[in-house]
Amino acid sequence: MQQLISDLRAANIGEIRTNERLAPYTTWKIGGPADCLILPNTKEQVAAVIRFLHQRGVPWTIIGRGSNLLVSDKGIRGVVIKLGTALETLRFEGATVHVGGSYSFIKLSVLAAKEGLTGLEFASGIPGSVGGAVYMNAGAHGSDVSRILKQAEVILDTGELVTMQADDLQYAYRHSILHTLPGIVTEAVFELQVGERKEIAGAMAAYRDRRLRTQPLQLACAGSVFRNPNGGFAAKLIEEAGLKGKRVGGAEISTLHANFIVNTGDAKAEDVLTLIAEVQEIVLKQYGISLVPEVLVMGER
């Protein structure tokens, strides 16, 4: 690893940090260290990093804004890539939006609303990056990324830069082909519609008020933990099973929203994983329904 780190530094492909604790980079504020964290400063550096690692057969992990992500207590071995401000670009061309992969999905929705463009209202409460939203087919309030995405620019694990159309991403509920085809989303192009600013602002205000009433946003969390099962809601099942407020270590099933697990201050990844397993076991036993986690679990166990 030391030789690899020396070679990476010599290649001038971004800031290199070793044994870097990842908890501060996640919205759950949980996670052990990365052996090597790389923060590329440009799109070209991102591609150069990927090519460098591919040529040496070194696996890598990408993190964006750290939402929807649980890093293990032992951390992540090998190389972790964290996209920086160089990919926070934004350009409006009429109702078409070109936006960088590390741009805030929430901020994008707000600025689109100010432009009088409708289609991104659902994103106003999704605290991740544009790249993460494209990867996960993020959605809320009956809409998702697949409905508005035109194309995405992706750096494959070979370092090749390709443009993928929406159909190429093979979207399904909280899923895209990028789950099995490793790559980094560097830019997305969304096709929106011209709308009434007052109506757009009204819808977003209503979504915001609902979130504030029903979600524990004042505590460290990662959003919804489980996917909603067909025809139902994970939160409803968990609440009816009497699991609100259940706690393991510093992790607790929110008393406000049962599909959120919050970090009360000193939660470990193992606390969260234990709660997830217990919820799955109890819901399966009581309702015969297998809850599937929506959060991504990364790192050494």
**Residues tagged active-site:** 174, 224, 294
Helix (H) or strand (E) run with residue 200 in it = helix 197-214
Tell me whether strands 183-191 and 96-100 are parallel, antiparallel or unpaired: antiparallel
* Residue count of the chain: 301
Amino acid letter, residue 51: R
Mention every residue, 6+ apart, whose C-beta is less than 8 A from residue 288.
none
What span, in angstroms and rounded, lies between the C-alpha atoms of 113 and 120? 8
Structure-block tokens of residue 67: 């939402």
Amino acid letter, residue 73: D
| Three-state SS at 107 | helix
What span, in angstroms and rounded, lies between the C-alpha atoms of 290 and 32? 29
DSSP one-letter string for 108-150? HHHHHHHTTEES-GGGGG--SBHHHHHHHT-EETTEEGGGTEE
Structure-block tokens of residue 180: 């099995």
Q: What angle do CA 38, 42, 46 make, to 5 degrees?
A: 50
Helix (H) or strand (E) run with residue 15 in it = strand 15-21
DSSP one-letter string for 254-290? -SS-TT-EEE-SS--HHHHHHHHHHHHHHHHHHH---
